Structure 1
């Protein structure tokens, strides 16, 4: 049987696992129920399993019968603080928490790959490390797992690392895609608190109102992006949180907003970082107020190795057929902590279309198709099986 046939044979198991994960999602680094489900799915396989100390991670090593290249395969496992509105029979039973980004599929696919590869252990060209990671959604779980030694789990650093991520609208259904070089943006944060002095809403001249100042800063930041960023080296800046005041007739003493910034090069990041801080401080100062500005360095850019990306394309074509892979034309502005792994190990971050093409990830209406589970498991298994057979040109 082929790798895809092996994965298809366990499709029902993968669907059951995915739906159990979906119904009981967890947020952040502490995912005890998710970890328990993963361990149950791996039970009985010839794996060396270790658990995280500071997070609910699972690292499993499948040993090859002979020395060869080590391959790391990663799945993120955490959910989002989103109230699900899909109406699915297996919808989240946890109020305000949802697998709106498809990490439940990633986890099931990697468990499936472990089963497929364990059945072919004698044919493995090298050891395989399965990295089941919590805390991708802003918790930097990859950094925590690296600090705890996931890259040394096999006794030596991996020769290649791969991760697979489903998308609801950015990629056509059933299509795998990747690109060499920058694939996902760096994701940083900006926090600005404008400090004035409060007072009565009927006598604004007796106070130092921070609200119009913070509004002016928000508007000016949008202009900053369009006027000072190269359109061929873009910046995305979105203010996602703005808070001020308690009552309509009370001028507050402070006003605060938080923004996310996405960049695709080190030069663009350095430029927008300096410019945004200067702008916020200067606008506040011009009005006689003070701005406290914090720039939060987040995930770095996700950069695919060109040779590994070509290897992924060849693997998808061999495992599933030539029509199932298309090159990704442009980087995506999302952030991804698998970038931490790719900063150290050559590899590739791969996208898979699994939605209806209209509803994007992170939506409370996001639905992902179980039909892609065997395909993802087969491709992950194929990457490990082919990596040591001279398939990398």
Structure 2
């Protein structure tokens, strides 16, 4: 049965798993209930399963019937510290925690891909690693790095030659549309923490204090000018100050004030300039006001960079499964951050988006990922599972074809070398053929062969 049809037969199981996960979300690296559900869903499949030491990860290896290389498929499993505001019958029952980014769908899709590929194990030449990852949202520092540190890339015994991941979108993309691009796919996501230290005092006598509030406000606006005047418009930077803290009462000048910002860059050069330039700017503003500034630029996830050849294979996989019109080549990267970047820094691969906006909503106005009102359509689950399975199977097939071609070319080269050694020079061989010998050895060589 075609892969797409097999995936549709899994729809009820995948929807059931997704809704269980959605109703019982967990944060960060410790996802014990999520991990148990994944292990139960994989039970009975011909997989080599391992769990993480420092996090509730699941790594499963499917070995094909024939030897070959390894491909990795990844899903993230963690939720967000968001209070759900939907009318879903399976809405989160855990206060302040919600699968607002669709990781519950990702997990169910990867389980589906594991089932589909296990059913096709006899046709696989190589291995598939299924990476079920906690803490993509960075609650406890990021899960992909920890899984790599615990030996993810050695799970099958050899390093994967390619890796693929899929992320659903509650808005922007119409339901069922896959999108990606070669090169940078998502931004580097860093944090900026700034504290201005002055001297507190009475609001009626600011000249007797060192007020950190005006300096902080100046720094916030100066950083926006820094972004627009020091960076190429075609290598953009996004800096958003999301939190400001300072003071307790209108007539009290605080001793310190602080702000937190998120910084998104798309190139290593821009990232380096932001890291160095923000510190210089803030410290000099503080000095101009007679204050001290503490600047903490926290490197987060690097930019996710797709391999062009792997993106092409992924696009072909979409077309192979669903026909033309289901893949969109994105013209620009997204400023969102993604810790699949750590995997793709070591393994060539492709990171794709999949539209999961419900059909009764407009993708342009629907609530976005991370919103308390974000809703994702379960109808995309079998398509996501089918795509992941197709991408892995196609990549192993391409690797097998390449290996066969290389072996065939090597055999030809060895055969050619052997013929030349046995038959002498090309000219001698041609002369013998013209004489009607068919290139068979003559003279002493014939006598030796006959003996």
**Fold-level similarity (TM above 0.5):** yes
Deviation at 1:122, TM superposition (A): 0.8
Q: How does 1:1-393 map to 2 (within 5 A)?
A: 1-138=1-138, 139-355=141-357, 356=361, 357=363, 358-390=366-398
Quote the Cα distance in structure 1 between the aligned partners of 2:174 and 2:345.
28
Q: What are the superposed Cα offsets for residues 194-213 of structure 1, whole Å, 9 maximum, x if unpaired? A: 00111122222221111111
Q: What are the superposed Cα offsets for residues 222-254 of structure 1, whole Å, 9 maximum, x if unpaired? A: 111111111100000001111112222221111
Deviation at 1:368, TM superposition (A): 0.3
Deviation at 1:350, TM superposition (A): 0.8
Quote the Cα distance in structure 2 between the aligned partners of 1:157 and 1:175.
31
Quote the Cα distance in structure 2 between the aligned partners of 1:132 and 1:241.
32
Q: How many residues align structurally?
A: 393
Coordinate RMSD, CA, aligned:
1.2
Work out which of the two has the higher radius of gyration on C-alpha atoms and give 1 or 2: 2
Deviation at 1:101, TM superposition (A): 0.5
> Is 32-41 or 381-390 further displaced after alignment?
381-390
Partner of 2:82, secondary structure, is coil
8 Å contact kept, 1:80–1:97? yes
Name structure 1 gaps, 5 residues minimum.
none
Partner of 2:398, secondary structure, is coil
Deviation at 1:270, TM superposition (A): 1.3
Quote the Cα distance in structure 2 between the aligned partners of 1:190 and 1:170.
28
Partner of 2:325, secondary structure, is helix
Deviation at 1:390, TM superposition (A): 2.6
Quote the Cα distance in structure 2 between the aligned partners of 1:354 and 1:125.
32
8 Å contact kept, 1:69–1:127? yes
Partner of 2:90, secondary structure, is coil
> Is 272-281 or 143-152 further displaced after alignment?
272-281
Report which of the two has the higher share of helix: 2
Partner of 2:126, secondary structure, is coil
Deviation at 1:273, TM superposition (A): 1.7
Quote the Cα distance in structure 1 between the aligned partners of 2:172 and 2:206.
47
Quote the Cα distance in structure 2 between the aligned partners of 1:89 and 1:153.
38
Quote the Cα distance in structure 2 between the aligned partners of 1:217 and 1:141.
33
Deviation at 1:168, TM superposition (A): 1.5
Which residue of structure 1 lines up, in the alignment, with residue 422 of structure 2?
none
Deviation at 1:34, TM superposition (A): 0.7
TM-score (normalised: structure 1):
0.98
Quote the Cα distance in structure 2 between the aligned partners of 1:336 and 1:152.
22
8 Å contact kept, 1:70–1:127? yes
8 Å contact kept, 1:179–1:304? yes
Partner of 1:67, secondary structure, is strand
Which residue of structure 1 lines up, in the alignment, with residue 446 of structure 2?
none
Deviation at 1:171, TM superposition (A): 2.1
8 Å contact kept, 1:229–1:235? yes
Quote the Cα distance in structure 2 between the aligned partners of 1:41 and 1:72.
19
8 Å contact kept, 1:124–1:384? no
Q: What are the superposed Cα offsets for residues 169-211 of structure 1, whole Å, 9 maximum, x if unpaired? A: 2322210011100110111111100001111222222211111
Name structure 2 gaps, 5 residues minimum.
403-451
Quote the Cα distance in structure 2 between the aligned partners of 1:100 and 1:214.
32
8 Å contact kept, 1:194–1:255? yes
Partner of 2:19, secondary structure, is helix
